Amino acid sequence: MQNKRTLIITGGAGFIGSHVVRLFVNKYPDYRIINLDKLTYAGNLANLRDIEDRPNYRFVRMDICDFEGVLKLMQDEHVDGIIHLAAESHVDRSIKDPFTFAQTNVMGTLSLLQAAKAYWESLPEKYEGKRFYHISTDEVYGALEMTHPEGIEPPFTTKASSGEHHLAYGEKFFTEDLKYQPHSPYSAAKASSDHFVRAFHDTFGMPTIVTNCSNNYGPYQFPEKLIPLFINNIRHRKPLPVYGKGENVRDWLYVEDHARAIDVIFHEGKIAETYNIGGFNEWKNIDIIKVLINTVDRLLGRAEGEDMDLITYVTDRAGHDLRYAIDSSKLQKELGWEPSLQFEEGIEKTVRWYLDNQAWMDNVTSGDYQKYYDEMYKGR
Ligand code: NAD
Ligand code: DAU
């Protein structure tokens, strides 16, 4: 792959995107990194304050649905790679407003693909050296059962296809060959966008890659998602709304480990392949919530566990998927990636970050973060 590249990273002002932008800007000074983001409620340029003045970084406020705008940007900047993260990402919002999810996640991805196709096919070398990398989710595979061998209560030790043993709540994992069975409007829209990306490879020969990752956690996550929402609520002693019985299982990966996987796959992944990304790290929601309460209490000098009574069971999320568990052994074997952090370490780091960055949290919860763009980019 070339030493100099010009990449568009879409959704770079969001949670995962900001970590990917930061990694690429720092690690590849010879690359030009263009962060293309509409700045919806989930986009926050304060997530990138530490790198915003770097010479190899440019922010462009644009909607991925703006085909003409994206095409012109690609022509002007000679873009040879796209890492596509922009999406509506919150399941609860998709239940209330599926149209926005279809518009952004499906039509937005299609518009981006069409712009890339129009630009790259106009060049003499066409698709040579180009790459369209689409970031998707494990939720497209649907939900797994909680199973366990006779007489053994989960979690038990099971063997993933990597051959390694892991604590798990069932014997099955999401593997790359599984059929898509999305349940929420969010995952249905993501599934549709994945199909479009693969169709552009199969029909037009566009060099595409798709990855499906499990739940991410870490700094800069919008506080509508379980972990940052609950850390903030525990701090302020507000109720913790646990959906259903808190028995649902999610498979958690530290966000910087996801960003590292994206770097490896972008540079070394095989064209037209799908890679699952995850750390074999399944947790029931209620168990994570207890860890969060104990950690926040301890770090704030409270008696560990004194805030357990904030746990409040509420009506379950409609269509709530029971269990996600990713088998990432293909990525681990073929490209040598593996997670760098144990969960206990990652959670401690994450709780500390939110407690130490209360100003970031207050800026988001007050809505002030949305004024940042106008102030920062006035006259630029
Ligand atoms: P996020 O909601 O934090 O950020 C999304 C970003 O996309 C925001 O900056 C937003 O402004 C931008 N955006 C939204 N609509 C846009 C549009 N029309 N045009 C341009 N920009 C737009 O999301 P996230 O949690 O960082 O997720 C990023 C990607 O990773 C998504 O594609 C998501 O499906 C996928 N993913 C997320 C997780 C997770 O646990 N968060 C796990 C696996 C995959
Ligand atoms: O699996 C990957 C997906 O993980 C990503 O594709 C999504 O973009 C991301 O939002 C995330 O989806 P989830 O729905 O799993 O994440 P969320 O943080 O919303 O919820 C995690 C679990 O916690 C889920 O089982 C629902 C539950 N929950 C969530 C909230 C916000 C609660 O019990 N109470 C809550 O208030």
Counting residues of the chain whose pLDDT is more than 70, the rounded percentage is 98
Give the model confidence (pLDDT) of 123-175 as tens digits: 999 999 999 999 999 999 999 999 887 778 778 888 877 778 888 999 899 99
- Is there an atom of ligand 1 within 6 Å of 16 CB? yes
- Is there an atom of ligand 1 within 6 Å of 186 CB? no
The answer as to CATH 3.40.50.720 being correct for domain 5-376 is: yes
Q: Which of 57-71, 81-95, 150-164 shows the lowest per-residue confidence on average (mean pLDDT)?
A: 150-164
Quickly state the pLDDT bin for 2 (edges 50, 70, 90).
Answer: low
Residue 274 has pLDDT above 70, yes or no: yes
Residue 204 has pLDDT above 70, yes or no: yes
Q: CA-to-CA distance for 250 and 146, rounded, in angstroms?
A: 12
* From 135, 231, 243, mutation site for ligand 2 pocket: most ligand atoms within 8 A of C-beta: 243
Average pLDDT over residues 171-195: 97
pTM of the model: 0.98
Average pLDDT over residues 19-47: 98
What residues act catalytically? Answer: 138-139, 186
- Is there an atom of ligand 1 within 6 Å of 89 CB? yes
- Give the residue, by CA position, lying nearest to ligand 2 atom 25: 248
Q: CA-to-CA distance for 9 and 13, rounded, in angstroms?
A: 10
Determine the distance separating the centroid of ligand 2 and the alpha carbon of 230, expressed in angstroms: 12
- Give the residue, by CA position, lying nearest to ligand 2 atom 26: 243
Domain coordinates in residue numbering, the chain: 5-376
Residue 110 has pLDDT above 70, yes or no: yes
- Is there an atom of ligand 2 within 6 Å of 321 CB? no
